[in-house]
């Protein structure tokens, strides 16, 4: 059995699966159930100053696709709407009762040193394992100069991080907003401010859809809508890219990264680890299916690690990072060609029409006696992969790597007017 025990910025948990700061971690009742279900840790729903914020009704909008619900979720919720003292008392109780689990407290107070100085000892007193600075909330709080409004300005990120580091002994995780053009700017600022770790991504600014009757963005609140924060399976690719960029950045070398964004199963988890994450945070998947989804994450990850011979999480964390390179370091001599398994093919024609209408015309069509026959015209196939992606039958189309004759990257490529000549 693979060892899933996690030590992240000094914070210990029995497995890398933490619930992200969000409604599932908003109170003792939920967190207790989450721990009973097997979650390794929680990042408590963001605490702010009293009086607590006031939330709206309704709060969520969802993106579905071809019958699947909630491939993306958008929310216009704010931080915890319960009094600080209530949250603090509950955190303390839960931590005492589940000493082996990671309890991290997410915080967001106005950008004034006094305010941070005031809240930190209160949190510390709970026995929590660390804090996470919510510099990410992209709606509502940012209009009050908190959340993403801080996270988008590297100087503020650095400054607030430093205040925290100076005023608490707890590890400080800085949660980054993806609503920036270059994720490295706030990430480096966090490190400069002394952050023990970064976590990302928080939600992405979005309008999830338009209610065509109300003629207003969804969710519609009394006839109007606002932009919200987007998360769920659909944001995974964005999160992976940002995590990878930080993981491979020399100035960030060694910083623990808590991966967040669309993690829904063990496979997503393994991918986040491979791209550099040392712990994993989940929100939407738990909101969609409940805490029980962690069961498959834990045993799926551990079975996969056993199969691959990885003993500890460290064996996986960052394993794909050195293979994550800029485009111009890819070998231009490498080539794959699509291959159709004619026994598996059901003759739906999707590969053909996708290729036909996407400029390559590399899959021919013939009407056979029982079904249509589709064949790859190898000389026309550019190895783009599109057919394999549209084929509804698993493993029916494979991309077969062709023999490679050496390596040639764009910087040396003859077609590159700026090529490097020896």
Partner 1 sequence: MGTRFDIACGRLPEAVLDLNFADAHPGLSNEQAALEADRCFYCYDAPCVEACPTDIDIPRFIKAIASDNLAGASKTILQSNILGGSCARVCPTEILCEQKCVHTAIEANHAVRIGALQRFATDWQMNQTTHPFQRAQSTGRRVAIVGAGPAGLACAHRLAMHGHDVTIFDRHEAPGGLNQYGVAAYKLADNFAQKEIDFLMSIGGIQFQGGAVLGQTITLADLRQSYHAVFLGIGLSGVRALGFENEGVEGVLDAVAFIEALRSSTLSEVPVGRRVVVIGGGNTAVDAAVQAKRLGAEEITLVYRRGPEHMSATSVEREWAQTNGVTVRFWASPHHLLTDQDAVQGICFSRGTPEGGYDPQDSFTLEADMVLKAIGQVFVPDPIQKDQILVENGRIVVDAHGRTSMPGVYAGGDCTAGEDLTVAAVRDGRDAAEAIHAELMASSVEKDANNG
Ligand X SMILES: Cc1cc2nc3c(=O)[nH]c(=O)nc-3n(C[C@H](O)[C@H](O)[C@H](O)COP(=O)(O)O)c2cc1C
**Number of residues located near ligand X, criterion CB under 6 A:** 28
Q: Residue 340 binds which one of partner 1, ligand X, ligand SF4, none, with CB within 5 to 8 A depending on kind?
A: ligand SF4
Using the rule CB under 6 A, give the single segment among 94-102, 216-224, 254-262, 331-339 that binds ligand X. 254-262
Q: Is 134 in the site for ligand X (CB under 6 A)?
A: yes
The stretch among 16-24, 123-131, 316-324, 395-403 that binds ligand X (CB under 6 A) is: 16-24
Give the chain as a 3 state SS string: CCECCEEECCEEECCCEEECCCHHHCCHHHHHHHHHHCCCEEEEEEECCCCCCCCCCCCEEEEEECCEEEEEEEECCCCCCCCHHHHHHHHHHHHHHCCCCEEEEEECCCCCHHHHHHHHHHHHCCCCCEEEEECCCCCCCHHHCCCHHHHCCHHHHHHHHHHHHHHCCCCEEEECCCCCCCCHHHHHHHHHCCCCEEEECCCEEECCCEECCCCEECCCECCECCCEEEECHHHHHHHHHHHHHHHHCHHHCCCCEEEECCCCCHHHHHHHHHCCCCEEEECHHHHHHCHHHHHHHHHHHHHHHHHHCCCEHHHCCCCCHHHCCCHHHCCCCCCEEEEECCCCCCCCCHHHHHHHCCCCCCEEEEECCCCEEEEECCCCCCCCCHHHHHCCCCCCEEEEECCCCCCCCHHHCCCCCCCCCC
Which of residues 214, 253, 330, 346 is near ligand SF4 by CB under 6 A?
346
Between residue 37 and residue 96, which ones bind ligand X under the rule CB under 6 A? Answer: 45-46, 73, 75, 77, 79
215 binds partner 1 (CB under 8 A): no
Q: Is 13 in the site for ligand X (CB under 6 A)?
A: no
CA 290 and chain centroid, separation: 18
Q: Kindly state the smallest distance separating residue 387's Cβ from ligand SF4, in Å.
A: 6
Nearer to ligand SF4, 119 or 362 (CB): 362
Q: Does 393 bind ligand SF4 (CB under 6 A)?
A: yes
Which of residues 392 and 406 has its CB atom nearest to partner 1 in the complex? Answer: 392
d(CA 361, CA 370): 24
Q: What are the distances in angstroms from CA 194 to CA 160, 169, 200?
A: 10, 12, 17
CB 155 within 8 A of CB 122: no
Q: Which is nearer to partner 1, 78 or 388 (CB)?
A: 388
Catalytic residue among 137, 164, 351, 391: 137
Nearer to ligand X by Cβ, of 83 and 99: the residue is: 83
Minimum CB distance to partner 1, residue 348 (Å): 4
Name which of ligand X, ligand SF4, partner 1, none residue 353 binds, using a CB cut-off of 5 to 8 Å depending on partner kind: partner 1
Q: Per rule CB under 6 A, is residue 21 in the interface with ligand X?
A: yes
Q: Please identify which residue in 41, 130, 136, 278 interacts with ligand X, judged by CB under 6 A.
A: 136
Instruction: Note whether 175 binds ligand X by CB under 6 A.
Output: yes
CB of 363 to partner 1, least distance (A): 10
Cβ atoms 306, 1 nearer than 8 A: yes
137 in catalytic set? yes
Instruction: Kindly state whether residue 67 participates in binding partner 1, applying the rule CB under 8 A.
Output: yes
Q: Which is nearer to partner 1, 56 or 393 (by Cβ)?
A: 393
CA distances from 224 to 73, 210, 211 (A): 18, 10, 10
Q: Which CB sits closer to partner 1, 283 or 355?
A: 355
> By CB under 8 A, what part of segment 345-374 binds partner 1?
346-350, 352-353, 365, 371-372
Q: Is 271 in the site for ligand X (CB under 6 A)?
A: no
Neighbours of 108 (CB within 10 A): 28
Cβ proximity to partner 1, 56 vs 346, nearer residue: 346
Q: Name the site residues for partner 1 (rule: CB under 8 A).
A: 66-67, 346-350, 352-353, 365, 371-372, 392-393
Active site residues: 137
Contact positions toward ligand SF4, by CB under 6 A? 340, 345-351, 374, 390-391, 393, 396-397
Binding footprint of ligand X on the chain (CB under 6 A): 20-23, 45-46, 73, 75, 77, 79, 106, 134, 136-137, 175, 202-203, 231-232, 235, 260-263, 282-285
């Amino acid at each position: 059995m693979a060892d899933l025990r996690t030590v992240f910025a000094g914070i210990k948990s029995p497995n890398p699966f933490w619930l992200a700061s969000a409604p599932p971690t908003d109170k003792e009742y939920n967190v207790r159930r989450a721990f009973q279900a097997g979650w390794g840790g929680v990042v408590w729903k963001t605490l702010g100053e009293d009086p607590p914020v006031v939330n709206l009704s309704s709060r969520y909008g969802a993106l579905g696709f071809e019958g699947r619900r909630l491939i993306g979720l958008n929310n216009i919720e704010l931080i915890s709407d319960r009094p600080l003292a209530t949250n603090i008392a509950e955190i303390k109780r839960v931590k005492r009762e589940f000493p082996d689990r990671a309890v991290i407290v997410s915080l967001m107070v106005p950008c004034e040193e006094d305010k941070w100085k005031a809240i930190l000892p209160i949190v510390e007193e709970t026995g929590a394992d660390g804090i996470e600075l919510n510099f990410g909330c992209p709606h509502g709080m940012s209009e009050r100069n908190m959340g993403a409004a801080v996270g988008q300005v590297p100087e503020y990120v650095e400054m607030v991080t430093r205040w925290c580091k100076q005023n608490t002994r707890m590890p400080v995780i800085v949660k980054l907003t993806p609503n920036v053009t270059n994720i490295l700017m706030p990430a480096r600022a966090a490190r400069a401010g002394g952050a023990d770790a970064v976590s990302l991504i928080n939600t992405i600014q979005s309008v999830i859809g338009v209610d065509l009757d109300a003629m207003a963005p969804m969710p519609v609140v009394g006839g109007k809508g606002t932009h919200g924060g987007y998360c769920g399976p659909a944001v995974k690719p964005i999160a992976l890219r940002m995590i990878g960029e930080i993981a491979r950045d020399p100035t960030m070398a060694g910083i623990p990264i808590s991966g967040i964004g669309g993690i829904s199963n063990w496979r997503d988890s393994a991918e986040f680890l491979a791209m550099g994450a040392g712990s994993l945070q989940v929100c939407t998947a738990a909101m969609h299916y409940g805490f029980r989804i962690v069961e498959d994450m834990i045993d799926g990850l551990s079975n996969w690690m056993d199969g691959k011979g990885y003993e500890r999480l460290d064996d996986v964390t960052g394993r794909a990072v050195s293979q994550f390179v800029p485009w111009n370091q890819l070998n231009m001599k490498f080539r794959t060609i699509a291959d159709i398994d004619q026994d598996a093919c059901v003759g739906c024609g999707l590969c053909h029409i996708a290729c036909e209408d996407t400029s390559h015309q590399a899959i021919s069509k013939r009407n056979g006696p029982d079904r249509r026959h589709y064949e790859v015209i190898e000389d026309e196939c550019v190895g783009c992969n599109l057919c394999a992606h549209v084929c509804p039958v698993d493993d029916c189309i494979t991309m077969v790597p062709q023999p490679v004759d050496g390596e040639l990257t764009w910087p040396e490529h003859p077609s590159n007017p700026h090529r490097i000549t020896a």
